[in-house]
Amino acid sequence: MTQFEQWTQPEPLWREDTSLSSYEPLKEDTSAEVAVIGGGITGITTAYLLAKTGRKVILLEADRLINGTSGHTTAKVTAQHGLIYHELIKHFGEESASLYYQAQTKALQTMKEWVDKYNIACDWAEEDAFLFATTSKGALKLDKEYEAYQKLDIPGGTGNELPFSMDAEKTLRMRNQARFHPVKYLKAIAEEFVRLGGEIYEQTKAVDVTEKDRLEIKTGGGSVVSCEKMVSCSHFPFYDGKGLYFSRMYAERSYVIAVEPEREVPEGMYLSIDEPKRSIRTAEYNGKNVLIIGGESHKTGQGIDTSFHYRALEEFAAVTFGIRKKLFQWSAQDLTTLDKVPYIGPITRKNDRIFIATGFRKWGMTNGTLAAQLITDYVCGETSLFHELFKPSRFKSDPSMKQFISQNFDVAAHLVEGKVELVEDKPNRLKKGEGMVVQWKGQRAGAFRDEEGQLHVLDTTCTHLGCEVEWNSAEHSWDCPCHGSRFSYDGSVMEGPADQPLLRIAIDNHAELPFQNLDDADRPQDTP
């Protein structure tokens, strides 16, 4: 592979060129009519819509606004969610499949209306979206998807050419979709929410809920928010409410790079349906058109060395477009439900006070906006044509039962595998910035040495249900292969469903640690 200059930023492009207002943590008990948990597109949009109804709304964010999945998206605003409509017709019927398309299109149109109404400078651009197949098997899948488009009156068409150096067996177009800058957009919506009287508290993690006459939300700082209704928009529901969501979804990580290409940037947004999948779109950065290329999805905690995925995307970009300059690289985590339709609505069938929105399957821009609209209807006591399709309590035996068995068998396999894993006892010292599964006093442990030379050693048993976490070298995190929980190198929780940190092991920072690897020659090279 040709060597290019190093990546300038290991962070999303979206946060680099936009300054956000900061908000203080919640320091004392307070109350509201509605509390919204999560500061991504779903939470911010929900809070804004509820504030428009005149309700007192508080938004709590565990970190900083738009720093989770919404800040790490490829930011396509489209109803073309991969190969979905043929599958929806098969499992739900034409009427429900049509409702899915209508709901996504309504969300896209709403976002465009707000961009125009508030004059939001978020690089909104209308473009067609394309699926493309590079194999004959993939082309047959696109034929079936196109048949679904025709049944559902989705505007589109097929072809067999791409405007860049890849051969395609077939392409499938969905017309009049959009792309944008998510942070610029959500910054404006958040500011409008505050203007309407809404309150935002950052660095305020919701950790538990007590269901009394009023809901009481306990935060990590010890303060309590009392409210009539609560909306969990925290990616994975921080409060399960006996909904067993950890067993009804699975987590995947995917990877993104942004580059300044050598060759002309194509119009349109593209997604391959054959493996390895590639997502392609343009963006504006420092007055230039750049390419955003994503892909390399795998179940959280179950991939190979995560640095490999960035290298694979870089090689694809170099061959297909040429790279004049590397700009950014980042990753995201997404949740998929048993039937691939998001869970939006009451957390359980009989609970009309707590609502969730999750399982967007990488399509969070339209689904997040849609969720805000549906949940606002719920809170206001209004009905929607779309409520039944997205309600979390639904269960379609086909494909849900098959997926439930498959996902939970996979969990059991990883639980057993982690407990019987043999860790080599070969002494070496961890280098700065390096982490690994090690053997510590005869037990499996996780070790990381930070840039100051401080050694962090953890019990690798996930605090959710006891699976063994694995080291993510690209993002310096410990990832659980069972339900997608993620922990920082110091053990703190980054992603649920786990709500407790990994157990820290007290060690002598001058101690020798035995590596899992046999010797230095066998260790993977640093990521460029």
CA angle 163, 167, 168 (to 5 degrees): 85
509: pLDDT strictly greater than 90: no
* 435, 441, 443, 449 alpha-carbon torsion, rounded to 10°: -10
527: pLDDT strictly greater than 90: no
Q: What is the pTM of this model?
A: 0.84
Judge residue 351's burial from the number of C-beta atoms within 10 Å of its C-beta, 0-12 exposed, 13-18 middle, 19 or more buried.
middle
Residue 405: the pLDDT is: 54
Confidence tier at 404 by pLDDT (50, 70, 90): low
Contact 77, 120 (CB under 8 A): no
Phi/psi at 451 (5° precision) = -70, -15
518: pLDDT strictly greater than 50: no
Contact 294, 254 (CB under 8 A): yes
Look up residue 401 and give its two tokens. 């039962």
226: pLDDT strictly greater than 70: yes
Confidence tier at 417 by pLDDT (50, 70, 90): low
Give the residue, 173 or 413, on which the prediction is more confident.
Answer: 173
Judge residue 520's burial from the number of C-beta atoms within 10 Å of its C-beta, 0-12 exposed, 13-18 middle, 19 or more buried.
exposed
Helix, strand and coil in the chain, % to nearest 5: 25, 30, 40
Strand boundaries in 15-169, DSSP class E: 30-37, 57-60, 76-77, 125-133, 156-159
Confidence tier at 321 by pLDDT (50, 70, 90): very high
Pairing verdict, β 224-232 and 354-358: parallel
H or E stretch at 318:
helix 307-320
CATH class for the domain made up of 426-522:
mainly beta
Confidence tier at 308 by pLDDT (50, 70, 90): confident
Phi/psi at 335 (5° precision) = -115, 140
481: pLDDT strictly greater than 90: no
| Domains 13-397 and 426-522 equal at CATH topology level | no
Look up residue 395 and give its two tokens. 């269960």
Contacts of 322 (CB under 8 A, 6+ apart): 261, 262, 263
Confidence tier at 427 by pLDDT (50, 70, 90): very low
299-316 mean pLDDT = 82
Residue 485: the pLDDT is: 86
Enumerate the β-bridge partners of residue 283. Answer: 290
Over residues 60-112, the pLDDT tens digits come to: 999 999 988 888 999 999 999 999 999 999 999 999 999 999 999 999 999 99
Contacts of 250 (CB under 8 A, 6+ apart): 299, 335, 336, 407, 410, 483, 484
13-397 CATH fold: FAD/NAD(P)-binding domain (3.50.50)
Give the residue, 43 or 8, on which the prediction is more confident.
Answer: 43
Q: Picking from 37-46, 219-228, 294-303, 491-500, which range would have the lowest pLDDT averaged per residue?
A: 294-303
Q: Domain residue spans in the chain? A: 13-397, 426-522
385: pLDDT strictly greater than 60: yes
Q: Picking from 35-44, 56-65, 515-524, which range would have the lowest pLDDT averaged per residue?
A: 515-524
Over residues 459-480, the pLDDT tens digits come to: 889 998 888 888 888 778 898 8
351-356 mean pLDDT = 96
CA angle 390, 83, 475 (to 5 degrees): 85
| Measured distance CA(258)–CA(14) in Å, rounded | 10
Give the residue, 512 or 134, on which the prediction is more confident.
Answer: 134
276 upstream amide cis, omega within 30 of 0 = yes
425: pLDDT strictly greater than 60: no
Over residues 172-191, the pLDDT tens digits come to: 999 999 999 999 999 999 99
Contact 41, 70 (CB under 8 A): yes
108-118 mean pLDDT = 97
| Measured distance CA(306)–CA(472) in Å, rounded | 6
Over residues 359-378, the pLDDT tens digits come to: 999 999 999 999 999 999 99
